[in-house]
């Protein structure tokens, strides 16, 4: 096996917002296939498609009602086959989202399960009796607010939903559930997909004894979910055995992979990423929300990478700065930058230097910023419920911008989310032929990464330099690169040894023994020169 995924650059496509070819204002598979040249020209190795399965769209496809068909909004199975063929012709692998911790309440499995306690699907979901006073069986909260339990009068029981009420949790302690889900994955493997992104992979199992979660004394913020330490509602040790079953399935096929989303933060996320990728019989790699946070310090990036490596030296990580669930990183980190474009270019260079697999989110290569929306434009359930303290995820999901035609070339119809002027100004066409554009910077650093074995496969050693300087070495065989980043809007200088020499598309100057990093500057230095603050 080639294990192509170990150094891959994966480009995440949010199908609703990439390209609409039928004019209904919602992106589709034909549109994605037509725009894949852009992804290939960027230098990516694979695409990850957010959910495209049949769904009532209560949570934009993360509530699946049929795991083996395409929602008509996006097209047909034949359209999917054509997309896969086009991607493979361009040298792009295809990864699809698997949302198997829960289904839609419209899924036939749940419609049968909720009828009574004796039907063939009675145990396929997490059901529990009420407390004597009628209250839910545990104190577990939903990520989207309120309790994680909903009453079903037909069974006179509660069912678990870690997310929306319309997203009941499957019972992974029931082996027929595991078997059925593995068969749905086999369906797509047989259809030619190259891998899976596993949504909320640490939520699959719950504590069968239904113990209450303890409080989290460190919680700050507007959400109620963070008030607890989620010891019993997720992160259960039972999950490892099922991950091994999934790995055994993908190992039946050549060159397939799985990347798990760990829906957690802090030390817990680092520990779980390590556990889930240890050895060669679990997930191929994981990512958490650590790199998707507002924190922009050398210590944070170093601690996250070292923590995963120390926890699972034989494991593998996937790193990204933006995705469909968090504000775009240019907006999150802008207070640390002199200019949005400088920040975007630095972030690209930094991400391409990290060990492991890299994931980019559509529009990131344009330096795209978060869209400011008003309440009447929202579609995201948490924002609709908790506005204005919770802005929701719509701001990072607005359509891709291609050119200066109406709706930035995304659709001939009214888009499902608006394209606003600040975002439209960053269109592909406006950057395509500019050597100083963010798009050009992304293409350059991706190409540089691919040309450097040290960046693709090298060992990583962090250097002890004071904030705001992040520095580390990547070494492979006899080759090495020293990577240096100024994470601030103030220029910085370092003293370097005489053997220092700039490499690649660095944004710094090197004169005699002085390396000067401008605001949000970065440098790749050949070999292992000495650096001093």
Tell me, what's the pLDDT at 498? Answer: 86
Task: With a cut of 90, say whether residue 73 has pLDDT above it.
Answer: yes
Q: Which of 199, 261, 264, 341 is catalytic?
A: 199
Tell me, what's the pLDDT at 223? Answer: 85
Distances (CA, A) of 476 to 113, 284, 473: 54, 21, 10
Percent above pLDDT 90 for the chain? 92
**Average model confidence (pLDDT) for the chain?**
96
Task: With a cut of 80, say whether residue 445 has pLDDT above it.
Answer: yes
Q: Does residue 462 form part of some domain?
A: yes
Average of per-residue pLDDT across 248-256: 97
Tell me, what's the pLDDT at 222? Answer: 83
Alpha-carbon distance of 366 to 38, in angstroms, equals: 12
For the segment 50-65, what is each residue's pLDDT rounded down to a tens digit? 999 999 999 999 999 9
Q: Does residue 116 form part of some domain?
A: no
Spacing of C-alpha 417 from chain mean position: 21
Whichever domain contains 513, its CATH number is 2.60.40.1180
Task: With a cut of 90, say whether residue 265 has pLDDT above it.
Answer: no
Spacing of C-alpha 307 from chain mean position: 19
Q: Which of 133, 220, 252, 254 is catalytic?
A: 252
Average of per-residue pLDDT across 323-350: 97
Task: With a cut of 60, say whether residue 251 has pLDDT above it.
Answer: yes
Identify whether 468 is preceded by a cis peptide bond (ω within 30 of 0): yes
Tell me, what's the pLDDT at 45? Answer: 98
Strands 46-49 and 195-198: unpaired
Which of 217-231, 257-271, 423-437 is the most confident on average?
423-437
Task: Examine the residue annotation and report whether 199 is marked as an active-site residue of this protein.
Answer: yes
Q: Is the pTM higher than 0.85?
A: yes
Alpha-carbon distance of 203 to 188, in angstroms, equals: 22
Tell me, what's the pLDDT at 352? Answer: 98
Domain ranges, residue 489: 458-532
Average of per-residue pLDDT across 511-521: 96
Tell me, what's the pLDDT at 43? Answer: 98
Tell me, what's the pLDDT at 487? Answer: 98
Q: Does residue 520 form part of some domain?
A: yes
**CA-closest candidate to residue 211, choices 227, 239, 233:** 233
Alpha-carbon distance of 56 to 134, in angstroms, equals: 30
Element (H, E) at 112: helix 108-113
Alpha-carbon distance of 27 to 410, in angstroms, equals: 8
Distances (CA, A) of 423 to 274, 372, 395, 443, 484: 37, 10, 11, 20, 30
Alpha-carbon distance of 355 to 371, in angstroms, equals: 31
Q: Does residue 440 form part of some domain?
A: no
Q: Does residue 513 form part of some domain?
A: yes
Tell me, what's the pLDDT at 311? Answer: 79
Task: With a cut of 80, say whether residue 266 has pLDDT above it.
Answer: no
Q: Does residue 242 form part of some domain?
A: no
Higher-pLDDT residue of 311 and 282 is 282
Q: Does residue 355 form part of some domain?
A: no
Task: With a cut of 70, say whether residue 176 has pLDDT above it.
Answer: yes
Question: For the chain, how many structural domains are there in total?
Answer: 1
Average of per-residue pLDDT across 247-259: 97
Contact (Cβ atoms closer than 8 angstroms) between residue 227 and residue 216: yes
For the segment 26-59, what is each residue's pLDDT rounded down to a tens digit? 999 999 999 999 999 999 999 999 999 999 999 9
Average of per-residue pLDDT across 324-347: 97
Tell me, what's the pLDDT at 1? Answer: 54
Main-chain dihedrals φ then ψ at residue 362, nearest 5 degrees: -45, 135
Higher-pLDDT residue of 1 and 9 is 9
**429 falls in which pLDDT band (50, 70, 90)?**
very high
Average of per-residue pLDDT across 187-215: 98
Alpha-carbon distance of 509 to 518, in angstroms, equals: 9
Q: Does residue 449 form part of some domain?
A: no
In 271-327, DSSP assigns E strands to 285-287, 318-319
Tell me, what's the pLDDT at 310? Answer: 86
Residue 360's DSSP bridge partners are: 11
């Amino acid at each position: 096996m080639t294990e192509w995924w170990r150094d891959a650059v994966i480009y995440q496509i949010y199908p609703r917002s990439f390209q609409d070819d039928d004019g209904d204002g919602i992106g589709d598979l034909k549109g994605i296939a037509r725009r894949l040249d852009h992804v290939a020209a960027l230098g990516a190795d694979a695409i990850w498609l957010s959910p495209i399965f049949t769904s009532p769209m209560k949570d934009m496809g993360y509530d699946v009602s049929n795991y083996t068909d395409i929602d008509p909004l996006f097209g047909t199975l034949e359209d999917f086959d054509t997309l896969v063929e086009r991607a493979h012709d361009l040298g792009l692998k295809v990864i699809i989202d698997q949302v198997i911790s829960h289904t839609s309440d419209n899924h036939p499995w749940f419609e049968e399960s909720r009828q009574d306690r004796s039907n063939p699907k009675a145990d396929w979901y997490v059901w529990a009796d009420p407390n004597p006073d009628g209250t839910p069986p545990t104190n577990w909260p939903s990520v989207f607010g309120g309790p994680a339990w909903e009453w079903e009068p037909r069974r006179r029981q509660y069912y678990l939903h870690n997310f929306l009420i319309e997203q009941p949790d499957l019972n992974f302690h029931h082996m027929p559930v595991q078997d059925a889900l593995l068969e749905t994955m086999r369906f797509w493997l047989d259809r030619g997909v190259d891998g899976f992104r596993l949504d909320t992979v640490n939520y699959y199992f719950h504590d069968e004894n239904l113990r209450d979660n303890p409080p989290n004394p460190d919680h700050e913020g507007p959400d109620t979910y963070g008030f607890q330490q989620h010891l019993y509602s997720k992160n259960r040790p039972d999950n490892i055995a099922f991950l091994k079953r999934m790995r055994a399935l993908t190992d039946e096929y050549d060159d397939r992979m799985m990347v798990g989303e760990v829906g957690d933060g802090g030390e817990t996320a680092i520990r779980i990423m390590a556990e889930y990728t240890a050895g060669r019989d679990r997930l191929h790699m994981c990512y958490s929300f650590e790199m998707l946070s507002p924190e922009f310090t050398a210590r944070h990036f170093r601690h996250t990478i070292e923590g995963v490596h120390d926890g699972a030296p034989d494991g593998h990580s996937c790193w990204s700065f933006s995705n469909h669930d968090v504000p775009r990183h240019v907006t999150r980190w802008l207070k640390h930058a002199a200019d949005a474009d400088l920040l975007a270019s630095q972030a690209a260079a930094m991400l391409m230097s990290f060990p492991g697999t890299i994931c980019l989110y559509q529009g990131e290569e344009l330096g795209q910023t978060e869209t400011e929306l008003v309440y009447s434009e929202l579609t995201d359930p948490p924002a609709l419920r908790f506005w204005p303290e919770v802005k929701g995820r719509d701001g990072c999901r607005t359509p891709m911008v291609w050119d200066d035609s109406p709706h930035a070339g995304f659709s001939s119809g009214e888009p499902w989310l608006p394209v606003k002027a600040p975002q439209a100004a960053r269109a592909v066409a406006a950057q395509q032929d500019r050597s100083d554009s963010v798009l050009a910077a992304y293409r350059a650093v991706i190409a540089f990464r691919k040309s450097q074995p040290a960046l693709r496969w090298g060992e990583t050693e962090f250097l002890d330099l004071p904030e705001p300087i992040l520095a580390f070495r990547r070494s492979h065989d006899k080759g090495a690169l020293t990577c240096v980043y100024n994470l601030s809007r103030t220029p910085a200088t370092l003293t370097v040894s005489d053997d220092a020499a700039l490499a690649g598309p660095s944004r710094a100057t090197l004169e005699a023994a002085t390396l000067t990093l401008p605001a949000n500057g970065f440098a790749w230095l050949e070999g292992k020169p000495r650096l001093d603050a």
